[in-house]
């Protein structure tokens, strides 16, 4: 691949997938894009090398990569992958003058500001406002990502968090029983991420299965064939097997409760964006359950009832955010 380009490489690195896209001077459409299985590669360098080699374009001038994990001093450790990434080392290895690593949810939050209306499913009468008030972004995927968009008077500033690792707070007798079940499985810490992401739906299913009835052989075979969580979601959404249905319902409730917690912590009265593949499948279908848990905040229930919420349907929202950050970097250099 030739050197001396002016393009932009953007990426979204998650515990399951890594999305990459290469843009020229115009960011209207990518010159090349691809999705890779993260766990099939030893590191990000390997993935980017293969992607850039296949694109046959000049080396980009800047790369903005969202990482599923905390970023400190230009160094990131991916929470659900054995990867350690360093901006300077990546720049040297890839031959790209400027490489910027950012928390993926901070990047996705920036991308939410770029979303058109047709890339959102509103759960409330109004949509999140993109000016004037704080916003919150929550995304259940391999992990539970959380970020805020803090209104700074003339623009939003994306603030990453690791709030998904906060302590799970049971709110009902069944949730207290669930906590005891999960505490045996995760004796070190029962967090929201253990429930509302990754294998969380499977853990909820196991909990309800432990209370009966016995799992039919047809269901057992179905769960062993491919993505177990996806199969549980399908069984639950179609109400084909009661433990799966209860798991989906409680998933939506706990997800809604934590989204409401986020709104309270930041006073995100501008709205909440709910992102991630899991949200697209479960939250709209269990809208009433999600909203009830979101708003069940005692003396602040009325305030929570006024907060707009939308489900993000664009899987490239992280890439949209990375493009926006790259554009900001190019403007700052002029």
Phi, psi of 274, rounded to the nearest 5 degrees? -110, 110
What's the rounded Cα separation, in Å, for the pair 39 and 178? Answer: 30
Question: Please, what is the average pLDDT of the chain?
Answer: 92
Q: What is the pLDDT of residue 1?
A: 42
Residue 299 in this model has a pLDDT that exceeds 60: yes
Q: What pLDDT score does 279 carry?
A: 80
Is 268 within 8 Å of 135 (Cβ atoms)? yes
Name residues whose C-beta falls within 8 Å of residue 216's C-beta, 6 or more positions apart in sequence. Answer: 241
- Lowest-confidence range among 75-89, 223-237, 280-294? 75-89
CB 281 within 8 A of CB 120: no
In this model, does residue 114 exceed pLDDT 60? yes
- Domains, the chain, ranges and CATH? 8-110+316-333 (3.30.420.40), 164-312 (3.40.367.20)
299 touches 281 (CB < 8 A): no
pLDDT in tens, 191-203: 999 999 989 999 9
pLDDT band at 6 (very low <50, low <70, confident <90, very high): confident
List C-alpha distances in Å: 164 to 3, 59, 244, 261, 288: 40, 36, 23, 11, 23
The stretch 131-150 carries a mean pLDDT of: 93
Q: What are the residues facing 13 on neighbouring strands?
A: 18, 67
pLDDT of residue 181: 98
């Amino acid at each position: 691949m030739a050197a001396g380009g002016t393009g932009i490489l953007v990426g979204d690195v998650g515990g399951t997938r890594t999305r990459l896209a290469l843009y020229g001077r115009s960011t209207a459409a990518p010159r090349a894009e691809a999705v890779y299985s993260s766990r099939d590669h030893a590191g990000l360098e390997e993935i980017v090398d293969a992607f850039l080699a296949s694109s046959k374009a000049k080396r980009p001038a800047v790369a903005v990569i969202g990482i599923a994990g905390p970023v400190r001093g230009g160094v990131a450790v991916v929470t659900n992958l054995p990867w350690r990434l360093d901006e300077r080392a990546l720049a040297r290895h890839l031959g790209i003058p400027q490489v910027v690593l950012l928390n993926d949810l901070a990047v996705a939050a920036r991308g939410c500001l770029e979303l058109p209306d047709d890339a959102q499913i509103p759960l409330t009468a109004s949509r999140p406002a993109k000016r004037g008030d704080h916003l919150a972004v929550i995304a259940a995927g391999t992990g539970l990502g959380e970020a805020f968009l803090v209104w700074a008077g003339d623009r939003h500033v994306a603030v990453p968090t690791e709030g998904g690792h906060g302590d799970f707070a049971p709110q009902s007798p069944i949730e207290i029983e669930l906590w005891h079940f999960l505490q045996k499985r995760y004796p070190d810490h029962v967090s929201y991420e253990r429930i509302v992401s990754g294998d969380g739906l499977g853990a909820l299913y196991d909990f309800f299965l432990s209370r009966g009835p016995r799992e039919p052989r047809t269901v057992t075979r179905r769960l062993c064939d491919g993505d177990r969580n996806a199969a549980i979601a399908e069984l639950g959404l179609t109400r084909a097997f009661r433990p799966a249905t209860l798991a989906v319902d409680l998933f939506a409730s706990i997800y809604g409760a934590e989204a409401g917690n986020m709104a309270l912590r930041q006073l995100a009265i501008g709205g909440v964006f709910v992102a991630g593949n899991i949200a697209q499948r479960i939250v709209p279908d269990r809208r009433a359950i999600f909203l009830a848990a979101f708003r069940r905040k005692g003396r602040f229930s009325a305030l929570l009832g006024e907060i707009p919420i939308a489900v993000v349907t664009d899987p490239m929202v992280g890439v949209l955010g990375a493009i926006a950050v790259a554009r900001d970097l190019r403007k700052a250099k002029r």
